[in-house]
Amino acid sequence: MVFSSLLFVFLFFAANIITQLYIKDIKLKNMVMLGFSLVFYTWAGLRYLPLLLGMTFICWVSALLIEKSETASRRKLFLIICIFLDLLILGIFKYATFFFENLNALTGVPEVIPQIVLPIGISFYTFQLISYVVDVYRGDTQAQSKYWLLLLYASLFHQCIAGPIVRYKDISNDIMTRKVKAGEMSRGISRFAIGLAKKAVLANGCASIADSLLAAEGIQSASAQAIWLGTFVYMLQIYLDFSAYSDMAIGMGLMCGFHYKENFNYPYTADSVTDFWRRWHISLSSFFRDYVYIPLGGNRCSEKRQMFNLLTVWFLTGLWHGASWNYIIWGLYYFVFLLIEKFVWTGYDRVHPALRRLMALAVVYFGWIIFKFEDLSVLGTALKGMFCLNHNHFADASASLEFRNNIFFLLFCVIAVTPAGQYIKRIAAGFCRQRTSTLWIYGVIDAIIPVLLLLLSMMALVGNSYNPFLYFQF
């Protein structure tokens, strides 16, 4: 089941909202929410439920042992054991096949490579559980004494599958005392409607164009125009798709009394690669900052050590996204540019802001083509094709036609990835507040827009009930 399906919107989530509003007792409310979350997680089968239950149990026991330990050495031992077990399980399910494929390529063994299916959401809930145990170890939060409440935190269907990565200390109070407020319900509905429209109309539309232009089987003969345009559309798609999921998760959270932090802040308006990563997938960036980079020494050490710390973070960032060399290359690609900004081009801040934004966009643009193709031979072919090095044409009629047919749609998508909509909304709100006679008009429009977005999304989803989010694969 995915957020962008009629079944989810009109049956599953509608039933969840009704129960959360009707039930007043917080214990029963949490038990019902846990039930909904486990049904959501196991919708495609019960196969990997024991994994979620087991990893949560390991972290529940470890946190309690850490909190009760009287010596620092024992606390540290329990922390290390817990993190080791979590990462071992994640490694087996996510990276074992990748490891054996590369071992086989080098040595010829093993002859039979195990094919392990990636459990949905494992990358996200593993990091959430690790952050919980580390925060207990640091004294930033208290250990949860009830296993089922920690399981609720790990499995909350709003964000369990594809983020944002939520820290226990940020929502522990919501779990125990949450109340739904009318204003938050309204904001949650609007946020959910925006996210659903982003996914159903914009991201899915971009996916159709990008997939046709960047089809792996035709990349050898694709024109440079097709590859450049396809990469641009994929750049729009991946932001619209992933930020749509975060919008919907944050909106659903508000409707149920949970307050999740923002996961995106218009990253394509960044004026540097560093700024881009402060704005893109914020929950992942902050996780690596707080639980890897700073513990390694951060920037409170020598330049060589800082470089090593950055290398570690960006190698892990790439690897986290998938068991494939292109993701590792993608992570190291960003490491190089961050290194340049931090240590080499010391006068970068003096460059004109408009030029800095263009340079940052260029880096991000080429990063997405690395991210797109897991097959390195296809990636190499695509990169060469961008510069007509495959003996391919510079332009072709089909790519030109694709662009002309979708020019207004793509223009709207470009506007959608900027804060232009928020800017227009603020101007309209300010204008109406100064004129009491027009204030009601703004209120009516503000109430109607989510309804129109929901209707538009429903029209787009009819006959297309399964359209998974890109980050489900990670």
Identify whether 159 is part of a domain.
yes
Residues 6+ apart with CB under 8 A from 30: 149, 152, 175
Which of 401, 416, 431 is the C-terminal boundary of a domain? 416
Question: What is the Cα–Cα distance from 285 to 277, expressed in whole angstroms?
Answer: 7
pLDDT, position 118: 86
pLDDT, position 116: 87
Question: What is the Cα–Cα distance from 198 to 41, expressed in whole angstroms?
Answer: 23
Residues 250 and 272 in one domain: yes
**Residue corresponding to tokens 């407020």:** 181
Residues 377 and 285 in one domain: yes
Specify the DSSP class assigned to residue 146. Answer: -
Identify whether 208 is part of a domain.
yes
Q: What is the DSSP string of 323-354?
A: SSHHHHHHHHHHHHHHHIIIII-TTGGGS-HH
Residues 6+ apart with CB under 8 A from 186: none
Tens digits of pLDDT across the chain (474 residues): 788 788 888 899 999 999 999 999 999 999 999 999 999 999 878 888 999 999 999 999 999 999 999 899 999 999 999 999 999 999 999 999 999 999 998 988 888 888 888 888 899 999 999 999 999 999 999 999 999 999 999 999 998 888 799 999 999 999 999 988 888 999 999 999 999 999 999 999 999 999 999 998 899 999 999 999 999 999 999 999 999 999 999 999 999 999 999 999 999 999 999 999 999 999 999 999 999 999 999 889 999 999 999 999 999 999 999 999 999 999 999 999 999 999 988 888 889 999 999 999 999 999 999 999 999 999 999 999 999 999 999 999 999 999 999 999 999 999 999 998 888 877 877 777 777 666 677 777 778 888 898 888 888 887 665 566 666 665
Residues 317 and 232 in one domain: yes
**In terms of residue numbers, what domain contains 239?**
184-416
Which of 177, 211, 229 is the C-terminal boundary of a domain? 177
Residues 21 and 91 in one domain: yes
Identify whether 362 is part of a domain.
yes
pLDDT, position 346: 82
- Structural domain count of the chain: 2
CA-CA distances (angstroms) from residue 343 to 256, 278, 317, 336, 346? Answer: 46, 18, 20, 10, 6
pLDDT, position 470: 65
Residues 287 and 201 in one domain: yes
Q: 3-class SS at 140?
A: coil
The backbone region for 257, taken as left when phi is positive above 0, alpha when psi lies in -120 to 50, beta otherwise, is: left
Amino acid, single-letter form, for residue 277: W
pLDDT, position 474: 58
pLDDT, position 53: 97
Residues 189 and 337 in one domain: yes
Write down the pTM of the prediction. 0.93
Identify whether 130 is part of a domain.
yes
Identify whether 66 is part of a domain.
yes
Question: What is the Cα–Cα distance from 56 to 147, expressed in whole angstroms?
Answer: 8
Residues 11 and 109 in one domain: yes
Nearest CA to 236 out of 411, 375, 473, 453 is that of: 411
Which of 117, 145, 177 is the C-terminal boundary of a domain? 177
pLDDT, position 233: 97
Which residues are the active-site residues?
A: 321
Question: What is the Cα–Cα distance from 345 to 402, expressed in whole angstroms?
Answer: 39
Residues 94 and 211 in one domain: no
Identify whether 424 is part of a domain.
no
Residues 341 and 225 in one domain: yes
Identify whether 442 is part of a domain.
no
Q: What is the DSSP string of 271-328?
A: SSHHHHHHHSSHHHHHHHIIIIITTTTTTSS-HHHHHHHHHHHHHHHHHHH-SSHHHH
Amino acid, single-letter form, for residue 319: L
Q: Which run of H or E residues covers position 132?
A: helix 122-138
pLDDT, position 473: 62
Residues 264 and 164 in one domain: no
Identify whether 88 is part of a domain.
yes
Residues 28 and 131 in one domain: yes
Residues 151 and 234 in one domain: no
